[in-house]
């Protein structure tokens, strides 16, 4: 398979050159569809991370003094640049994550939507507010919004552009600096997002990116941040929340879930099956809000089951940089192996595979069929 024309070697080298790395080595970032190495991603040491925070903090001292309207001009330009370069962003997301093109397109829309939201509302949200004091008429108080400083963001691999950039937008507009750690597998799209922000006028150095495995990078990032945001597993969230608490800094933790779908007798099954299909298999099933299990009322169980399984079998699974595939690849071979282990474990414990259940190495190294089991 030929990678998109936009994803050139020179372009990728320019992106990863932004990552500080003095002695951290490199990580082979691959095109998921083929397993081909796209670029050697530099890995940041603790010293590199401390230096990145120092650079961001110096830039933030000036940025925080900009009037809100001046900051918003940067984001108005950024909004236009993201839309202008949408195809390139989609190509990068597909190459690094293996998403079907529709899902990659949907992810890119998150960033201009978030930007547009704050372009309309940030001036009001950040404006000082006057409140009555303890003695009416003769006393009052003024509430002002102060930047935190430098915000640390640990972004996941399932929505690298949306979480890596969208989470940073309100922090930056409010006058903060940002240091983001994307997942090694999916660092390219957030790196390009930072490039576009600087093209729009964001001061160089304000938005830093560091790369490395979580246990190697996370502690230093949290210890240098004034606020931390994390999207990922509950187990890791507990560790991050505890460390943030020890450092007396705030944190925002979006963690894992176990989401049921309940279908009652009055449901419109045409609409319900469509919703269930996306709820189970959108982004190749790699969304934290996805349906983990379904409870179907006895009176409609057989009808729903037949419709849902037929719709699942009709899904087009493939490796393509066009819209011919409904379902793309899992994010890595390791993840594909974990999925296969879960299916095997379910069967061993009495479940029956109703549809799918197989890896598809004929399509690509990390492909696995959309699968549903019953107990």
Phi-psi region of 350 (alpha: psi -120 to 50; beta: other; left: phi over 0): left
pLDDT at 136: 80
Side-chain half-sphere exposure of 371, counting CA atoms within 13 A: 23
In the block, residue with structure tokens 């979480």: 163
Q: How many residues does the chain have?
A: 375
Locate 26 and state its tokens.
Answer: 């490199």
Upper half-sphere CA count for residue 100 (Cβ side, 13 Å): 20
Q: Is the pLDDT of residue 375 over 80?
A: no
Asked if the model's pLDDT at residue 145 lies above 80, the reply is: yes
Average pLDDT over residues 82-98: 98
Other beta carbons within 10 angstroms of residue 362's beta carbon come to 6
Statement: residue 137 has pLDDT above 90: no
Is the distance from CB of 354 to CB of 25 less than 8 angstroms? no
Spatial distance between the Cα atoms of 282 and 277, rounded to a whole number of angstroms: 7
Residue with tokens 């996306």: 278
Is pLDDT at 257 greater than 80 in this prediction? no
CA–CA separation, 87 and 357 (whole Å) = 33
Q: Could you read off the pLDDT of 315-324 as tens digits, one per residue?
A: 999 999 999 9
Tell me the backbone φ, ψ of residue 252, rounded to 5 degrees.
Answer: -125, 115
Q: Give dist(CA 334, CA 46) in Å, integer.
A: 27
Q: Using an 8 Å Cβ cutoff, are 253 and 237 in contact? A: yes
Q: Where are the alpha helices (DSSP H) in 40-187?
A: 46-63, 68-84, 86-97, 101-126, 160-161, 168-173
Check residue 292 and give its pLDDT. 85
pLDDT tens digits, one per residue of 47-59: 999 999 999 999 9
pLDDT above 90: percentage of residues in the chain:
90
Close Cβ partners of 362 (under 8 Å, ≥ 6 residues apart): none
Count other C-beta atoms under 10 Å from residue 191's C-beta.
Answer: 24
Residue range 268-281, pLDDT digits in tens: 999 999 999 999 99
The reported pLDDT for the residue numbered 2 is 82
Give how far Cα 349 sits from Cα of 129, 258, 339, 354, 375, Å.
Answer: 59, 19, 16, 15, 9
Q: What is the mean pLDDT of residues 118-128?
A: 96
**Domain 259-374 in the same topology as domain 9-254:** no
DSSP 8-state symbol, 327: B
- Residues known to be catalytic: 254, 288
Average pLDDT of the segment spanning 109-136: 94
Mean pLDDT on 165-172: 97
- According to DSSP, residue 326 is labeled S
Cα–Cα distance measured from residue 121 to residue 131, given in angstroms and rounded to the nearest whole number: 21
Number of H-type helices and E-type strands within the chain: 13, 13
- Domain spans of the chain, in order of start: 9-254, 259-374
Average pLDDT of the residues in 24-31: 94
pLDDT bracket for residue 289 (50, 70, 90): confident
Using the 8-state DSSP alphabet, how is residue 315 labeled?
A: -
More confident residue, 70 or 140: 70
Report, as an integer, the average pLDDT of 225-236: 95
Question: What dotted CATH number matches 259-374?
Answer: 3.40.309.10
Judged against a pLDDT cut of 80, whether residue 258 lies above it is answered with no
Burial of 287 (0-12, 13-18, 19+ CB in 10 A): middle
Tokens of 46: 């603790």
Give 12's contacts (C-beta < 8 A, 6+ positions apart).
38, 39, 188
Q: Which of 198-212, 219-233, 276-290, 357-371 has the lowest mean pLDDT?
A: 276-290
**Diameter of the chain by CA atoms?**
78
What does the pLDDT average to over 133-143?
Answer: 86
- 246 pLDDT tier (thresholds 50, 70, 90): very high
Strands in the chain per DSSP E: 26-30, 37-42, 129-132, 140-143, 150-154, 177-181, 207-209, 227-231, 250-254, 259-263, 291-296, 352-355, 372-374
Determine which helix (DSSP H) or strand (DSSP E) holds 223, and give its type and residue range.
Answer: helix 214-224
CATH number among 3.40.50.720, 3.40.605.10, 1.10.287.70, 1.10.1140.10, domain 9-254: 3.40.605.10
- DSSP letter, residue 100: -
């Amino acid at each position: 398979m030929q990678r998109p024309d936009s994803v050139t070697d020179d372009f990728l080298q320019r992106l990863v050159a932004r990552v500080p790395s003095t002695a951290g080595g490199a990580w082979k970032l691959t095109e998921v569809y083929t397993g081909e190495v796209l670029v050697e991603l530099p890995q940041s040491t603790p010293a590199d991370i401390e230096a990145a925070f120092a650079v961001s903090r110096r830039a933030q001292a000036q940025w925080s003094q900009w009037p809100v309207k001046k900051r918003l001009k940067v984001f108005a330009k950024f909004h236009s640049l993201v839309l202008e370069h949408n195809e390139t962003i989609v190509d990068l997301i597909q190459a690094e994550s293996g998403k079907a093109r529709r899902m990659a397109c949907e992810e890119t829309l998150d960033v201009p939507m978030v930007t547009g939201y704050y372009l309309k509302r940030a001036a009001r949200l950040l404006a000082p507010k006057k409140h009555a004091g303890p003695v009416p008429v003769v006393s009052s108080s003024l509430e002002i919004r102060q930047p935190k400083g430098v915000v640390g963001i640990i972004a996941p691999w399932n929505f690298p552009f949306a979480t890596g950039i969208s989470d940073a937008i309100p922090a930056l507009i409010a006058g903060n600096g940002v240091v983001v750690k994307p997942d090694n597998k999916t660092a390219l799209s957030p790196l390009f997002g930072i490039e576009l922000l600087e093209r729009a006028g964001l001061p160089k150095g304000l938005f830093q990116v560091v790369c490395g495995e979580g246990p190697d990078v996370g502690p230093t990032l949290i210890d240098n941040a004034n606020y931390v945001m994390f999207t990922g597993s509950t187990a890791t969230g507990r560790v991050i929340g505890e460390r943030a608490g020890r450092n007396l800094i705030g944190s925002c933790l979006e963690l894992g879930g176990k989401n049921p779908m309940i279908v009652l007798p009055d449901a419109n099954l045409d609409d319900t099956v469509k919703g269930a299909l996306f709820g189970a298999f959108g982004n190749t099933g790699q969304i934290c809000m996805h349906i983990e299990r379904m409870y179907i009322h006895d009176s409609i169980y057989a009808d729903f089951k037949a419709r849902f399984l037929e719709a699942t079998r009709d899904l087009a699974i493939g490796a393509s940089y066009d819209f011919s595939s409904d379902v793309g690849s899992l994010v890595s071979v390791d993840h594909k192996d974990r999925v296969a282990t879960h299916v095997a474990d379910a069967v061993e414990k009495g479940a029956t595979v109703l549809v799918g259940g197989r890896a598809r190495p004929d399509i690509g190294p990390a492909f696995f069929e959309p699968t549903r089991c019953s107990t």
